[in-house]
Amino acid sequence: YGGARLSLAGQVARAWYGIVESEQQLELAEQMTETFEKNQAFTANRFANGLASSLENDIATSALASSQATETMRERVRNAQVKELESFLGAYPKGDVDRNFPDTLPELALAPLPPTPAQTMENRPDLQAARLQLEASGYDLSAAKMNLLPSFSLSGGPGSRSEEFGDLLDNRFRTWEVSGSVTQPLFNGGRIRANIRRSKALRKAAEANYRAVALRAFTEAETLLANEKFLQKEEDYLKNAS
């Protein structure tokens, strides 16, 4: 359940940031189309007055059409991302999501990253689930082996004993009876040992799954920590370039 919540939250956040980015891309495409429209009108006027060649007029017309196609594509992507966000929030097809998205991405104050990948995985739901499955398989194996041992049972209860019927309700004639029994499985068609082999196989599968999940978790953590440093450098360079 925790893993599903984190996954849904991540998908919603990614869709929201994607919409904000698409809004900026669409705005840029609209500005480019407006510029190409002015350029095409200017070139067409020059061509009509014999001041520009037909090639220049065709290039301006082609550039305008290409820009219009890009603008349409940006709008299509933006609308698809809005529908995706609505589906995540349970608002599709009613469209109850507020479409007044911001024009710029917000500034995020990120918490300092932990120094080692191990510290980033303490709350990973997939790793916790794999560990609990491994522990549960161990308990199942122990329970299967216990079925080979004899079982002991002890029972008891109160009663009354008297030669006279009227004395049966007298507390002085109350008695207690306690009995015990021991049973040992002798013949069950190999069912118990088959369950033990099955539990051992499930235990090995749980161990392999835990190793795979742990390896994937460490790999993802190391990759994300390294990417964070590279992205920070890239962001600094882009700010200097702008």
Q: How many helices (H) and strands (E) does the chain have?
A: 5, 2
Question: Tokens 């359940």 correspond to what residue?
Answer: 1
CB 53 within 8 A of CB 43: no
pLDDT for res 40:
92
Max Cα-Cα span within the chain: 137
Phi, psi at residue 174, to the nearest 5°?
Answer: -70, 140
Lowest mean pLDDT among 27-41, 66-80, 133-147: 133-147
Q: pLDDT confidence of 72, banded at 50, 70, 90?
A: very high
pLDDT for res 114:
59
pLDDT for res 31:
92
CB 151 within 8 A of CB 183: yes
For β-strands 174-183 and 151-160, DSSP reports them as antiparallel
Whether pLDDT at 189 is above 60: no
CB 113 within 8 A of CB 168: no
